[in-house]
Amino acid sequence: MTKMLVLEERDVFERHAPEELHKCCEITLMSQFTPVKEILACASDAEILLANPTISIKEDLIDGLPNLQLIQTEGVGFEGVDLNAANKRGIYVCNCRGVNARAVAEHTVMLMLCCLRDVINGYQDVLEGRQNAKKVYYMKTGSLRDLGDCTVGFIGYGSIGKEAARLTKAFGARTLYYKPHRSDEEFAEYCMLDDLLAQSDIVSLNLPLTKESENMADAAFFRRMKKGAILINTARGGLVNSKDLIDALASGQLGGAGLDVLDHEPVRTDHLLVKAPEEIRKKIIFTPHIGGVTKSAFVRTYDVILENVRHIQDGEQPINIVNQPLHV
């Protein structure tokens, strides 16, 4: 029986892993925070490593698993995996591309709507007895907006960006997208990055975190955005420079932000954005990296995982390979 090492919280894995996976694999389940030495002491014979997509899989762990054939992330992200180490060993690294597209796209649109309707601050005012005063304030200022009146720009136009564009277009919004290579334009029109930033009332980040994209949303990026625009990030926290975001919100260059992800997760209470002055935090909606954490997304995720386990068992090439192992 194939030996699988799973680095994930026990309750999460046991809640979502299908019975078929238990039938075809001998599973060693450990927390994703387990030290490498402890992992190797218990599971050095693992042939498949299934890992939470937010953790680091470094060379010392990879080299300590001599029978390893597949590193499978339990999600879309794979930036924590040392691809060079896997390549040298001829180990496949695969993700679950596309499985959470609908879930993350819905979350992206939810953050847009929450920012446009100032949901968090309105909620607090109702709790504190200012419901009518807040309503009158919004009527006087005209500060609440329809999504259908906005131009929405998507940076990154893979399965998530495209689905989010489809949804926002259904609201009546004008939709733009930018990616290095032009794609189909069924749900959004192609636009160069500078033009997208200048025209968009809402800018949504829907691209992977790479060396090239890290901190791309910085001071210069925000200066190129339309004044008062909203930033949405449901991709990776490292795409955004937190200090520069605070400065852009403080100056009014940005009108708000909806963030499902922050740099340096798990997020601590001393994070720059979390401990920002109250007037800044009132312009931000935080959610705890749950865009893709829906029941249906997990079902689709484990469909892919099970398919790749069977490919490895049958000596076949798996799907959703993200590296270049020597034997491919």
pLDDT tens, residue by residue, 213-237: 999 999 999 999 999 999 999 999 9
289 is catalytic: yes
Q: Note the pLDDT tens digit of each residue in 180-197.
A: 989 888 999 999 999 999
Beta strands of 156-283 (E only): which ranges? 174-178, 189-190, 202-205, 229-233, 254-259
Question: Is 197 or 54 the better-scoring residue by pLDDT?
Answer: 197
* Domains detected in the chain: 2-97+295-313 (3.40.50.720), 101-286 (3.40.50.720)
pLDDT of amino acid 327: 65
Catalytic residue among 89, 97, 102, 236: 236
The residue among 156 and 264 whose pLDDT is bigger is 156
pLDDT, one tens digit per residue, over 266-290 is 899 999 999 999 999 999 999 999 9
**Predicted local distance difference test score (pLDDT) of residue 183:** 86
Which residue is associated with the tokens 């259904």? 170
Mean residue pLDDT across the chain: 96
- Is 236 known to be catalytic? yes
Q: What is the pLDDT of residues 81-121, one digit of tens each?
A: 999 999 999 999 999 999 999 999 999 999 999 999 999 99
What band does 76 get if pLDDT is binned at 50, 70 and 90? confident
Alpha-carbon distance values, 253 to 175, 216, 263, 306 (Å): 21, 17, 21, 47
Supply the pTM of this predicted model.
0.90
Q: What is residue 77's predicted lDDT score, i.e. its pLDDT?
A: 84
Q: Which of 166, 265, 271, 310 is catalytic?
A: 265
Cβ neighbors of 87 (< 8 A, separation 6 or more) are 323, 324, 325, 326
pLDDT in the model for residue 326: 82
- Residue 83 to residue 91: CA distance in whole angstroms: 9
165 pLDDT band, cuts 50/70/90, is very high
CA atoms of 22 and 221, how far apart (whole Å): 48
Residue of 89, 102, 107, 289 with catalytic role: 289
pLDDT digits 0-9 by tens, 111-135: 999 999 999 999 999 999 999 999 9
Average pLDDT over residues 317-322: 96
| The predicted structure's pLDDT at residue 328 | 55
